[in-house]
Amino acid sequence: MLNINIEKELAHYKLSLSFQAADEIIVLFGPSGSGKTTVLNCIAGLTNPDKGYIQLNHRILFAERNKPLPIQKRHIGYLFQDYALFPHKTVWKNIAYGMQNEKLALDLIRELRIEHLQNHYPQQISGGEKQRVALARALATAPDLLLLDEPFSALDDDTRKRSHAELLRLHRIWKIPVILVTHSREEAEKLGDRILYMEDGALKRTEPHS
């Protein structure tokens, strides 16, 4: 369970929102610049809120006047918009970076059907393959929470549809909270158990999955 209640002063507005996430897919939806990625970065520990708290499974990730929990101790998987794969490392070494155990990494490689890519480098594989490699790397840490920042935006339509199905299938298996950032209404409605609409750093409304 993720509990978050934070405030952070940004250049043009104050980010302020509060929500909980159980073992569900929560979509942060809204226009570019509404604060969606900043929320993910606060949860991951890449930046800190000014006020509030972030709690994950009874562990305090951030609280005012306390030292924030280090990134490597948060047990969070993060799939960045550009995938952030190490260009000088093979697919296997990218996935193995920070992994909890080799068996889990190998299981993910098989589940995501990327066995044939293990000795390739990121520049040698397609966008859809990079997305699956990045997802395998994020899950290989055995996270308690998965953060996804526009992971499908650069994919063609067919690859995007397959990736949507893959995410839903993996979520049924892993049963952990997933926070997905997107500005695609269709994607939000297809994937989200709940959709949180953000604008200028504020949560405007929440919609359950129809």
Residues 151-178: tens digit of each pLDDT: 988 788 888 898 999 999 999 999 999 9
Q: Tell me the CA distances in angstroms from 27 to 16, 61, 68, 129, one per residue in order.
A: 17, 21, 25, 23
Q: Which two tokens stand for residue 144?
A: 């308690």
Positions of the chain with pLDDT under 50 = none
Please state, in angstroms and rounded to a whole number, the distance separating the CA atoms of residues 208 and 196: 9
Q: Which two tokens stand for residue 65?
A: 């006047």
* Residue recorded with tokens 């969070």: 76
CATH of domain 1-75+170-210: 3.40.50.300
DSSP strand pairing (25-29 vs 178-182)? parallel
- pLDDT tens digits along 92-103: 999 998 787 888
Query: Where in the chain do CATH 3.40.50.300 domains reside?
Result: 1-75+170-210
pLDDT at residue 160 in the model:
87
pLDDT at residue 101 in the model:
81
pLDDT at residue 93 in the model:
94
Q: Is the Cβ–Cβ distance between 2 and 194 less than 8 Å? A: no
pLDDT at residue 209 in the model:
65
pLDDT at residue 2 in the model:
98
Rounded to two decimals, the pTM is 0.93
Please state, in angstroms and rounded to a whole number, the distance separating the CA atoms of residues 64 and 90: 40
Q: Which two tokens stand for residue 114?
A: 């990327």
Give strand pairing partners of 199: 202
